Amino acid sequence: MDFHKFFLHGTYVLLDVNSGAVHAVDKLVYDIMDIFRGDNDEEVLEQLRTVYSGEELIEAMAELRGLMAQGQLFSSAPEVSPAMFQQEPVVKALCLHVAHDCNLRCHYCFAGTGDFGHDRSLMTPEVGERAVDFILAHSGARRHCEIDFFGGEPLMNMDTVRHVVKYIRQKEALTGKVFKLTLTTNAVLLNPETIQYLNENAISLVLSLDGRRDVHDQMRPNANGRGSWDTAVKNIRAVTASRTDPAYDPRGTYFYVRGTYTARNLDFAEDVLAMADLGFAQLSVEPVVGKDCDYELREEHLPELFRQYELLAKAYLERKRAGNGFDFFHFNVDLDHGPCLPKRLSGCGAGHEYFAVTPQGDLYPCHQFVGREGYRLGSVFTGVENHVLPETFRNTHVLNKPACRECWARFFCSGGCHANAQLVHGTITEPYQIGCELQKKRLECALLVQTELSKDTSQ
Amino acid sequence: MEKAKHIRTVNTAKLQKTIKTGGCGECQTSCQSACKTSCTVGNQACQK
C-alpha cells in the first residue's frame, strides 16, 4: 500500500504517495492505518476495539473511504508510458565552470579546492560563447534556458562572466529565448562594483556560508589558512541588503545563503539559526558528501542528524508564527503547485537536460562529475559524443531503480543525486543510502511544516 | 457531506493527472537552485 505516516511534534501526518495528497489525522486514524486496507473493517474493529469504541472506528473508516473515493488514499500508481521518455531530450541548463581555481581551500571541496583534480585554469570568453551556442542549439522549443556561473570561484573570472552575459543578452534579442542566470560564490571577492553589476544584470545568487564562525572557519579557510567567515558575512550582508532594498527590482531573481554540514557540526540546526540571526532569511544547508575522511557523515550520525532536522522544523515554525521567520529551502515543498510527474521522474536532468562545462569546454553530466574518469560526454565545440551515458542517466529514474521503486519519498526526491551514488557505489543505479535517509527525514519535516502552516491559514 | 472529524486534508494534489497536463519542461533545473549537492525536486514550483 502506497502511503506513509509519521508522528512529529504532536502532529500525525498521512501521505498518499501516488497522488501526493497530505492529510493531518488524529491518533485514532493513525492507529487504524496500521491495519486498514480499504476493505477489512472487521479486522480493524477486532484489533482496536479494546482501545477505541466501535462507533469511532466505523466513523473514521468512513472518512478514510471518502478519501479513497476522492483518489487521495490508496490511489493507483501512475501509468507511465515509455513514450514519455522517447521524445528528443532538450538541454535546459548549463553549469559553466568559469574558474577552476578558488581563493579558498575548503577541506570538503568536491572540486579539490577548485582545480577538480587538474590544473588551475580559467574559462576564456570564447569557450563561454560556444557554451551559450550549445544550449541555444539544443534547447529546442523550450523558452527558458539556465546558466549557472560556477567554479571553483566564478568571481575570479568576472571578465568572462561579463562577456558571456553580454553575449547572452544579444542572443536573447535574436532568438526570443529567456536566460535565467545564477552565480554560486563564496562571497569573499564580492565588492560594491561586482554587487552592482550582478544586481543590474538580474543574476541570482547562491552564497556559501556554513553558519557559526568557528564551524565555517574550520572548513572554509582562505589560501593563507585564515578563516573566511568575517569577509563572507560582511559581503553577504552587503549584497542581501542591496537586494532587499525597496529600490531593487528583483526581475525574477533570488538569492540563497547555503551551507554544508559535516560530521564536525552534527548540531547543524544551530548553524541554520545562526545564519537566520545574522539577518539572512533565505537559507539552505546540505549534508557533506565525502568518502574515507574524518568529516564524512556515517550511519551512526543519523539519529542526531534526524533530531537536528526536527529541532529545525520546530524553530522554523516558532519563528514564522512569531513574525521573524526565515525560509529553509528544503522545507519549501509546494504541495499544491509542485512539479508535474514527468518532472519528478526526470529529476535533476544531469547528463541529458543539464551539463557542466569545464574551462576547456568539456561537457560532463553535472558539476560534481567534472574530472571523474569515464564521464566526459563531449565538448561545446563537438557537441555530445557519448550517446550511451545520456540515455543511461535519462533512464535511471525512480521507477527503474529497485531501491526507489518502493520508497515513499520517490516522487519528492526523484531518486537522489547521481553523483553521490556514483561516488559511494561506483554506479548511478544504487542510491547513496545516508543521503536517502536524510532526504526522508527532511521531507517528513517539510510535510509537517506545510501541514502546520496550512492549519494556521485555515483558522 | 458531514464535516470530517478525524482527518484534515492539507492539499488535494492528484499527481497522476499531471502526466497528461504536465511535461512542458519550462521548470527550473533542480540542482541549479539553492542546493548543489542534493536535489529535492518536490520543492519546486510548476511554471505553468
| Local confidence band at A459 (pLDDT 50, 70, 90 cut-offs) | low
What burial class does residue A292 get, using C-beta atoms within 10 Å of its C-beta: 0-12 exposed, 13-18 middle, 19+ buried?
exposed
Task: Judge: B7–A28 Cβ closer than 8 Å, yes or no.
Answer: no
Distance CA A288, CA A285 (A): 9
Of the listed ranges A17-31, A200-214, A354-368, A401-415, the least confidently predicted one is A401-415
DSSP A274-315: HHHHTT--EEEEEE---SSSTT---GGGHHHHHHHHHHHHHH
| Residues of A in Cβ contact (< 8 Å) with B20 | none
Q: Cell 539559526 belongs to which residue?
A: A273
Backbone phi and psi for residue A119, each to the nearest 5 degrees, phi listed first: -65, 150
Element (H, E) at A384: strand A383-384
At A323-352, the pLDDT tens digits run: 999 999 999 888 888 888 888 887 888 999
Kindly list the residues from chain B whose CB atom is less than 8 angstroms away from the CB atom of residue A443.
40, 42
pLDDT of residue A53: 97
For A41-83, the pLDDT digits (tens) are: 999 999 999 999 999 999 999 999 999 999 999 999 888 776 6
User: Measured between beta carbons, which residues in chain A are less than 8 angstroms from residue B37?
Assistant: 110, 260, 286-289, 368, 417, 420
Asked if the C-beta of A284 comes within 8 angstroms of chain B's C-beta atoms, the answer is yes
Q: Convert A221-241 into a string of H (helix), E (strand) and C (coil).
A: EECCCCECHHHHHHHHHHHHH
Count contacts between A and B (CB, < 8 Å): 233
Q: What type of residue is A141?
A: A
The angle that helices A125-138 and A158-175 make with each other, rounded to 10 degrees, is: 30
User: Which residue in B38, B34, B18, B29 sits closest to A338, CA to CA?
Assistant: B18
d(CA A29, CA A64) in angstroms, rounded, equals 8
pLDDT of amino acid B39: 55
pLDDT at B43 over 70: no
Give the whole-number percent of chain A exceeding pLDDT 90: 81
CA nearest B31 in A: which residue? Answer: A348
pLDDT band at A302 (very low <50, low <70, confident <90, very high): very high
Look at residue B41 and tell me whether its pLDDT is greater than 70. no
**Total Cβ atoms within 10 A of residue A124:** 17
Question: Model confidence over B6-26: pLDDT tens digits?
Answer: 999 999 888 888 887 777 777
| A451 touches B: beta carbon within 8 Å | yes
User: What's the mean pLDDT in A150-170?
Assistant: 97
Model pLDDT for residues A244-268, shown as the tens digit of each residue: 999 998 888 889 999 999 999 999 9
CA distance A304 to chain B (A): 19
pLDDT band at A124 (very low <50, low <70, confident <90, very high): very high
Which of A18, A333, A334 shows the shortest C-beta gap to B15? A18
DSSP A196-207: HHHHHTTEEEEE
Shortest CA distance from B30: residue in chain A:
A348
Distance from CA of B27 to the nearest CA of A (A): 8
Q: Decide if A72 contacts A23 (C-beta within 8 A).
A: yes
Do B44 and A338 count as a contact with CB atoms less than 8 A apart? Answer: yes
Residue B36 has pLDDT above 60, yes or no: no
Q: Determine the 3-state secondary structure of A171 from DSSP.
A: helix
SS (H, E, C) A7-69: EECCEEEEEECCCCCEEEECHHHHHHCCCCCCCCHHHHHHHHCCCCCHHHHHHHHHHHHHHHH
Cα separation, A44 vs A61, whole angstroms: 9
DSSP state of A104: B
> Best mutation site among A340, A433, A439, A458 for testing chain B: the one with the most B CBs within 10 Å?
A340
Q: Could you tell me the pLDDT band of residue B32, with boundaries at 50, 70 and 90?
A: very low
Q: What is the tens place of the pLDDT at every residue in A399-427?
A: 889 889 999 999 998 888 899 899 999 99
B contacts of A286 (beta carbons < 8 Å) = 35-38
Q: Which residues of A touch B32 (CB under 8 A)?
A: 93, 95, 146, 148, 182, 354
Confidence at residue B42, expressed as pLDDT on a 0 to 100 scale: 67
* Average pLDDT, rounded, for chain A: 93
Residue B30 and residue A414: Cβ atoms within 8 Å?
yes
Q: What is the predicted ipTM?
A: 0.90
Interchain pair A417, B23: CB under 8 A? no
Over residues A141-149, the mean pLDDT reads 93
Q: Report the C-alpha gap between A414 and A398 in whole angstroms.
A: 6
